[in-house]
Amino acid sequence: MRHLLRFSMAVIVLAPGVTAAQGVRDSTAARAPALRIDPRLIAEAAEVWTLIAGPHNPIWPGWDASDTPILFYLPGEQDVLINHPRPPAGFVTYGGPIQFPGGRIVVHDGATILGADGQNTSRDIEGARTLVVADALSNLRQQIRGVLGDPRPPAEKIQNLGFAQLATDPYDQLALVAHEAFHVFQDRAAPTKGANEMLLLHYPVLSVENNVGFAQEGAALAAALRSDDDPGFSAAVVRWLALRRHRRAALPPQAIEYEDGVEFHEGLAKYVEYRLLEAIEGRQPGPQMWWVQGFRGYDGLASRRSVFVDRMLQHMRGEVAVNNDPFGTAPLRMRLYYSGMAIAAVLDRLSSNWKDRVLQPGVSLTDLVADAVGARTGDVRQALEDARWEGDYDALVASKRRLAREGQARIDTMLTRIERGAETGIIVDYGALDTPRVALAFTPFGITMVDADRTIYTQVPIQARFADGSEVAQTQATPLLHDRRRKLVQFRLSRELSPEEVDRALGGEVRAGREVREVRLELPGVRVSSPSATIQWDGNDLRVTLASPRE
């Protein structure tokens, strides 16, 4: 199954700050601005706020989103801020007919705070943690890019491109608002918890045993969530716990830490989506919601909750190719969204105070289940023996072995393309720096581990910053290889450049071993800056060797 999903890309990069506000101009000083973002975003957020913005939040006690600012944005077109205490300079009050309960609306046309599509996330804006939601057109444009990047033949892609794939589901949009709003609460209530994305470099993404174990855990979680009787539920939970302990026994500690971090941060936010459908069941919607395409009210939402369990099974079995890449970290990361959701839903039946405890440092969802179940060692051992070989175990092993083979072949192909492709290559050697370290800005949905020393980054343009102040910034996304042992960053541009093009960009001829001070090199697909570097051609590659400036 191949899905194109809308989700926060969580690009790990420090964005430039926005100038502090000197005050928002009153709408009487200028003509009232028009909304260029889809107004239904405001209506959907208002619906969610009726549940989560108050002292009696039915989804998560103690979470009151009434003071959480909201940013809706359409890249390069308009930012809309709601309930923000200190809007950045340039925002003006919106005085039109659209309103948000208890929140002032201000807008800014033109360049937006976030320029990339589909960034549904939370971030600091003028010192206030803010819920961020992209306009539906932005999400759709990101989705279309995914379709264009899908390696299947065009006719096959078009055949599966129905209205359901193009439309924005209002219930998914409600869930998205709740998901990202919960991240703001997490950042306040448990600021030290969450996933360190660099731990992905220690994760055995293509491990046959690990992937088989994940699929079996998914089946046990689904059995627990679908069980109507206590004995069946308890047996399924003990089976899951046994499978998880067995699978994790073969993982490095960093991989377990990563799983716990993502299940806490993203899994609990996915759980909030699941619980939202329960909390909103049977409620009377606001009148503006009936104008939203595809909205049918809040009755009969049990089938939608069941879909969450179906998706959990599919992701944990590895049947969803996230970002058209079944071999990298994107499927793993989304798998943890759903496993965290399911474990939290299980805990609702096991513990009355788990939501308080999970916010404490060092407490994982797995720990809470183990404490609540209190299963004896013999019971866990027997559950493992009963579960390990049941059902389609042999088929799962065969499938994951095939995935590992195909994944290794894909890695070999990517390496060959990066190292020996026909396009002009860029090699940055930082080994001679006094402090040979590099900080990379990347998305955790686009990582492929080659081995313990080499990692390939994809999906978004990558930025590399070095200890001497040098910087390499892709302006087009092409696979980038980081070799930590050899201290190299390497990638191909989208085409072959002539030596004359490079000479013009550099402001002089690239001679063998030419040392350049204050490098400012802008080429199609990349910008390179450095206080001091040696630049030379190495076959079809432009090699930039960074060096600490000599006095």
User: How confident is the model over 42-64, as pLDDT tens digits?
Assistant: 999 999 999 999 999 999 999 99
What is the pLDDT averaged over residues 469-480?
95
Quick one: average pLDDT of 165-188?
A: 92
Is the pLDDT at 5 greater than 50? The verdict is no
pLDDT value at 29 more than 50: no
Q: Where is average pLDDT lowest: 12-21, 30-39, 117-126? A: 12-21
Average pLDDT over residues 333-341: 97
Residue 241's identity, in one-letter code, is L
Of 311 and 167, the one with more pLDDT: 311
What pLDDT does 421 receive? 94
pLDDT band at 81 (very low <50, low <70, confident <90, very high): very high
pLDDT of 312 strictly over 70: yes
* pLDDT higher than threshold 60 for residue 22: no
- Mind listing the pLDDT tens digit for each residue in 421-443? 999 999 999 999 999 999 999 98
Residues sharing a CB contact under 8 Å with residue 336, sequence separation 6 or more, in sequence order: 259, 262, 263, 266, 267
**pLDDT tier at 118, thresholds 50, 70, 90:** confident
Would you say residue 13 has pLDDT above 80? no
> Which helix (H) or strand (E) covers residue 244, if one does?
helix 230-248
The pLDDT of residue 549: 56
Question: In angstroms, rounded to a whole number, what is the distance separating the alpha carbons of residues 269 and 280?
Answer: 16
CB 493 within 8 A of CB 526: yes
The rounded distance, in Å, linking the Cα atoms of 318 and 310 is 13
CA torsion through residues 135, 305, 359, 336, sign:
negative
Q: Residue 21 above 60 pLDDT?
A: no
Q: What is the band of 548 on the pLDDT scale with cuts at 50, 70, 90?
A: low
Q: 3-state SS string over 158-191?
A: HHCCCHHHHCCCHHHHHHHHHHHHHHHHHHHHCC
Angstrom distance (rounded) from CA 227 to CA 236: 8
Residue whose entry in the numeric block shows the structure tokens 């600490």:
548
Spatial separation of the C-alpha atoms in residues 477 and 236, rounded to whole Å: 44
- pLDDT tens digits, 376-397: 777 788 888 887 777 788 899 9
**Non-local CB neighbours of 512 within 8 Å, separated by 6+ positions:** 536, 537
Q: Which helix (H) or strand (E) holds 365?
A: helix 365-373
Structure token digits, residue 501: 């093009």
What DSSP state is assigned to residue 194? Answer: S
Give the β-pairing of 541-546 and 514-523. unpaired
pLDDT digit string (tens) for 218-252? Answer: 999 999 999 999 999 999 999 999 999 999 999 99
Strands annotated E in 329-391 = none
Instruction: Yes or no: say if 35 and 355 are a contact pair by the CB < 8 Å rule.
Output: no
| The predicted structure's pLDDT at residue 31 | 61
- Counting Cα atoms < 13 Å in the Cβ hemisphere of 113 gives 32
pLDDT above 60 (res 347): yes
Amino acid 42: pLDDT: 96
Q: Is the pLDDT of residue 212 over 50?
A: yes
Q: Is the pLDDT of residue 30 over 60?
A: no
Percentage, residues of the chain above pLDDT 70: 93
Instruction: Give the pLDDT confidence score for residue 550 in this predicted structure.
Output: 55
For the chain, the average pLDDT equals 89
pLDDT at 155 over 90: no
Q: If phi over 0 gives left and psi between -120 and 50 gives alpha, with beta otherwise, what is residue 323?
A: left
The answer to whether the CB of 173 falls within 8 A of the CB of 48 is no
Short-list 107, 110, 114, CA closest to 87: 107
Q: Indicate if the pLDDT at residue 172 is higher than 90.
A: yes
pLDDT value for 11: 38
* CA torsion, ordered 209, 447, 338, 371, to nearest 10 deg: 60
pLDDT one-digit tens code per residue, 492-530: 999 999 989 988 888 877 776 677 888 899 999 999 999
Backbone φ and ψ for 192, nearest 5 degrees, come out as -95, -5
pLDDT at residue 16 greater than cutoff 50 = no
Confidence of residue 8 (pLDDT cuts 50, 70, 90): very low
The pLDDT value given to residue 14: 30
Q: What gap in Å lies between CA 366 and CA 370, rounded to an integer? A: 6
Q: What is the DSSP letter of 12?
A: B
Instruction: Return the CA Rg of the chain.
Output: 25
Element at 211 (helix H, strand E): helix 208-225
Measured from the Cβ of residue 291, the count of other Cβ atoms closer than 10 Å reads 10
